[in-house]
């Protein structure tokens, strides 16, 4: 009898948890040991960079890109960007375009960013940066590059606007 009550209670709690997670958007879990796996290839004293110059991607690897938005940032996205907690793409064309967007070093830092851009290679995190994409600010921030902004803001918006909504309740990154 007590065993049945425990099973029923566990089922109810589990169901409620999943319902909350689904309505609140997907839940992001980061299991990677290192928060930043970048291998810097370019010198950071240049004024301009592209994301592909910041890390060593294997030639025949499978890449995917995820953007995990903070709830505040979702509300302030440009109208072209889908309003969803997690956006992603596995489209090679979009990923190549994203990796070639020219960014400018500002020499500064943007300290209060909560949204993330994560690039996955063969199931493991290759690159992570904080991101903001709003009407006022567009850029990436991490501890290696500092605050970098795209030369042409519309390039980044047009690429991310073609990302898909992540529809599963959990996103686990290794």
Rounded distance between C-alpha atoms, residue 101 and residue 125, angstroms: 20
> How do residues 79-136 score in pLDDT, each as one tens digit?
999 999 999 999 999 999 999 999 999 888 887 899 999 999 998 899 999 999 988 8
CB 95 within 8 A of CB 62: no
Binned at pLDDT 50, 70 and 90, residue 39 comes out as low
pLDDT at 36 over 60: no
Q: How far is CA 23 from the centre of its chain?
A: 20
Specify the pLDDT at position 38. Answer: 56
Specify the pLDDT at position 161. Answer: 97
Q: Spell out where 2-160 has E strands.
A: 27-30, 48-50, 63-68, 86-89, 102-105, 115-121, 124-133, 138-142, 146-150
pLDDT at 63 over 90: yes
Specify the pLDDT at position 77. Answer: 95
Rounded distance between C-alpha atoms, residue 102 and residue 155, angstroms: 9
- Average pLDDT of the segment spanning 128-156: 92
């Amino acid at each position: 009898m007590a065993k049945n009550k425990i099973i029923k209670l566990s089922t109810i709690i589990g169901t409620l948890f999943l319902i909350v997670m689904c309505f609140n958007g997907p839940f992001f879990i980061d299991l990677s040991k290192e928060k930043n796996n970048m291998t810097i290839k370019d010198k950071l004293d240049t004024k301009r960079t592209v994301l592909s110059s910041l890390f060593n991607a294997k030639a025949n690897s499978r890449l995917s890109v995820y953007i995990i938005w903070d709830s505040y940032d979702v509300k302030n996205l440009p109208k072209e960007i889908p309003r969803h907690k997690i956006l992603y793409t596995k489209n090679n064309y979009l990923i190549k375009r994203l990796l070639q967007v020219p960014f400018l070093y500002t020499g500064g830092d943007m300290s209060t960013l909560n949204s993330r851009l994560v690039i996955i290679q063969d199931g493991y995190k290759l690159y992570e940066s904080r991101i903001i994409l709003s009407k006022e600010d567009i850029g990436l921030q991490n501890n290696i590059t500092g605050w970098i902004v795209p030369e042409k803001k519309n390039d980044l918006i047009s690429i991310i606007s073609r990302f898909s909504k992540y529809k599963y309740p959990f996103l686990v990154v290794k």
